[in-house]
Amino acid sequence: MGEFIFSSNNKKLETPKVPPEKQKRPPRSTCIKRNDKAIYRRAFSETQLLDIMPLNMKDGESYHCITGGDVDSLSYLKIILRQQDLDYCLFSTWCMASEDIHQFEDWLNSGKIKKLDAYVGEIFPGTYHEEYHLLKPIIEEHGGRVAVFRNHSKIFAGYGNKFYFGIEGSANINTNPRTENGCITIGRDIFDFYYNYFNGINSFE
């Protein structure tokens, strides 16, 4: 039964029912809801992080880490590359160092990563001028793109022949001694979530 309202002569009127297909829907969520097996790790160097992470990650698992020392977001990608080569990968960072760009170049040239898309912050082409002009031809040579926009997110997402994954963290692709957090989640849905978002970005360039 519908709600009741009262007219000006105090006569009770029933409001009409709204068909389900015409009811106002809530805004589409921008969050993924998962019921994962959560695993927690602590590490205070990149080598320690690599040593404590398993090499048999399974769909639906997520690995939550708190780190210090020389652990940056690239450390998490190395964990994935220990388990499989990647047909595709994207990364998002505010800034990055030239030595890390050369690491991507080595992985692309060796076939460890076949295609790589890069999403960087708006400051990158100006403040990190040399790094930007080093990164762009390396990515484009292997069929990827470099997108510049108002970006401060730190993300990896990709897939190989074993599994899809997403990596979320606080660290940029540059080593620093600060405490940082990171999470690796194994699953197709988290890859699709990030890929669909970043693939729709219009670059400033």
Q: What is the spatial distance between Cα 71 and Cα 96, in angstroms, rounded to a whole number?
A: 14
Residue 1 lies in a domain: no
Residue 60 lies in a domain: yes
Higher pLDDT residue, 46 or 8?
46
Strands (E), 29-128: 37-43, 61-67, 88-93, 116-120
Q: What is the spatial distance between Cα 122 and Cα 190, in angstroms, rounded to a whole number?
A: 25
Tell me how many domains the chain contains.
1
Q: What is the spatial distance between Cα 199 and Cα 175, in angstroms, rounded to a whole number?
A: 27
Higher pLDDT residue, 109 or 203?
109
Residue 15 lies in a domain: no
Q: What integer pLDDT is reported at residue 34 of this predicted model?
A: 54
User: At residue 172, what is the residue type?
Assistant: N
Per-residue pLDDT reduced to its tens digit, 98-135 = 999 999 999 999 999 999 999 999 999 999 999 999 99
Residue 55 lies in a domain: yes
Q: What is the spatial distance between Cα 160 and Cα 115, in angstroms, rounded to a whole number?
A: 11
Q: What is the helix (H) or strand (E) element at residue 185, kind and residue range? A: strand 180-186
Q: What is the spatial distance between Cα 117 and Cα 89, in angstroms, rounded to a whole number?
A: 7
Structural domain of 161? 41-199
> Strand 146-148 relative to strand 164-169: parallel, antiparallel, unpaired?
unpaired
Q: What is the spatial distance between Cα 171 and Cα 188, in angstroms, rounded to a whole number?
A: 23
The mean pLDDT value for 195-201 works out to: 95
Residue 173 lies in a domain: yes
Q: What is the spatial distance between Cα 114 and Cα 91, in angstroms, rounded to a whole number?
A: 14
DSSP label of 204: -
Residue 179 lies in a domain: yes
Residue 147 lies in a domain: yes
CATH code of the domain covering residue 163: 3.30.870.10
Q: What is the spatial distance between Cα 64 and Cα 28, in angstroms, rounded to a whole number?
A: 27
pTM of the model: 0.80
Q: What integer pLDDT is reported at residue 204 of this predicted model?
A: 85
